[in-house]
Amino acid sequence: MIRTIGLGLIAIAFLSTGQTMLKLGLNEIGGFSLSFRYLLLTKLLQTPWIVFGLVFYALSMVLWLDVLSKLDFSLAFPLMGLNYVFILLIGRFVFHETIGVVRVLGVVLILAGLFVLLSSSPPPPLPPSGR
């Protein structure tokens, strides 16, 4: 289970990295609108930050499939809450956002909830002895 949770942490780190790269790319090209335009789509796919962001997003998804196949859904999905922690730190140190007490308190509550979930989950069953 520890290996799987470690893989989950890597998947979440890749997800946060991908989102950060997407934000950097969108800042570079001046944003995005849902009104579809071929030129905008072309511009998105020619922006390295966005391309690498999508790659990290895809890698995160592949790793997350492995995590979902091995952990209970009720344990795996709350791990995604760590994304909020990473994004809060990235927002502060990469994008120089102001982080208020309420946001910090929210992240502390998320971490406390994850601690409770992880400490309350039963240990995985032992493999058969092969006798």
**pLDDT 10s digits, 20-61:** 999 999 999 888 877 767 667 788 889 999 999 999 999 999
pTM of the predicted model, to two decimals?
0.80
Amino acid (one-letter) located at 27? N
Burial (0-12, 13-18, 19+ Cβ within 10 Å), 18: buried
pLDDT in tens, 98-108: 999 999 999 99
Instruction: Please give the pLDDT value at position 104.
Output: 93
Environment class of 21 (CB within 10 Å of its CB; exposed 0-12, middle 13-18, buried 19+): buried
Task: Give residue 12's pLDDT.
Answer: 95
The total of other beta-carbon atoms located within 10 Å of residue 63's CB is 19
Can you give the pLDDT at residue 77? Answer: 86
Angle of CA points 118, 122, 126, to nearest 5°:
125
Determine the pLDDT at residue 72. Answer: 85
Residue 24 carries which DSSP code? H
How far is 7 from 29, CA to CA, in rounded Å? 33
The residue with greater pLDDT, 85 or 124, is 85
pLDDT of 115 strictly over 90: no
Q: Say which DSSP state 35 is in.
A: S
CA dihedral 97, 79, 107, 18 (to 10 degrees): 0
